[in-house]
Every structure is written in structure tokens, then in C-alpha cells.
């Protein structure tokens, strides 16, 4: 698969058939991208696995193992948000995280 997902990050150069991808966007008030937020990837037991900052457009991406994960989003002037997601090799889990004060 190549090209961009609708409204999301480009998958150029990503072999989705061999990867479990979790990606998405952090938004405030439903449509305002949140730059400089941090998204943490926590395993089933809640252990920290990885962290990435969001881009200027609020986007983030993780390459994860198959299974259930929690995304913990930490954004300026917002309460932390936990989002459950399931990753599977051969697919892209698209997540939209809404934050509020």
C-alpha cells in the first residue's frame, strides 16, 4: 500500500503487510490540530513502551506489536486522554484523539 490515507499520514515507504501501524491525529474542539503534544504507547499492563511528539498538524505514528495498546495523550492546557487501540500486522489502526481543558 502506498500513498496517503484519507486525511492522514502518508504510508509511502511503509510495508503495511509486514507492520502493525498505529497512527492518528490529536485534535482540540473536534477540528483544531494540536502540535507539540506527546502520545505515549503503553502495553497491556500499562508499562511505558514509547513516546512521540505530534507534528505541526497533530499527527503521530507508532510501529507496534500485535495486540491491545493504550495511547496516553498529553497536550498543553488539556487533561491527559487514554485511548485503547488494537494493532495487527497487515493493518493500520487510525485513531483520532480529542482533548479538552
Q: What does the pLDDT read at residue 5? A: 46
Q: What are phi and psi of 83, to 5 degrees?
A: -130, 125
Provide mean pLDDT across the span 55-63.
95
CA separation for the pair 8, 57 (Å, rounded): 10
Provide mean pLDDT across the span 8-29.
84
Q: What pTM, to 2 d.p., does this model score?
A: 0.85
Residue 50 has pLDDT above 80, yes or no: yes
Which residues are paired to 61 by β-bridges? Answer: 23
CA separation for the pair 89, 21 (Å, rounded): 8
Ordered domains of the chain (ranges, CATH) = 16-99 (2.60.40.10)
Q: What does the pLDDT read at residue 76? A: 92
22-31 per-position pLDDT tens digit: 999 999 987 8
HSE at residue 67, side-chain half, CA atoms within 13 A, is: 9
Amino acid at each position: 500500500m502506498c500513498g496517503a490515507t484519507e486525511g492522514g499520514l502518508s504510508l509511502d515507504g511503509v510495508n503495511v503487510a509486514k507492520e502493525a501501524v498505529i497512527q492518528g491525529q490529536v485534535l482540540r474542539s473536534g477540528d483544531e490540530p494540536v502540535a507539540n503534544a506527546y502520545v505515549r504507547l503503553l502495553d497491556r499492563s500499562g508499562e511505558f513502551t514509547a513516546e512521540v511528539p505530534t507534528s505541526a498538524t497533530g499527527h503521530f505514528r507508532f510501529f507496534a506489536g500485535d495486540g491491545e495498546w493504550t495511547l496516553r495523550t498529553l497536550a498543553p492546557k488539556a487533561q491527559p486522554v487514554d485511548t485503547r487501540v488494537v494493532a495487527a500486522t497487515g493493518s493500520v489502526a487510525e485513531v483520532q484523539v480529542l482533548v479538552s481543558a
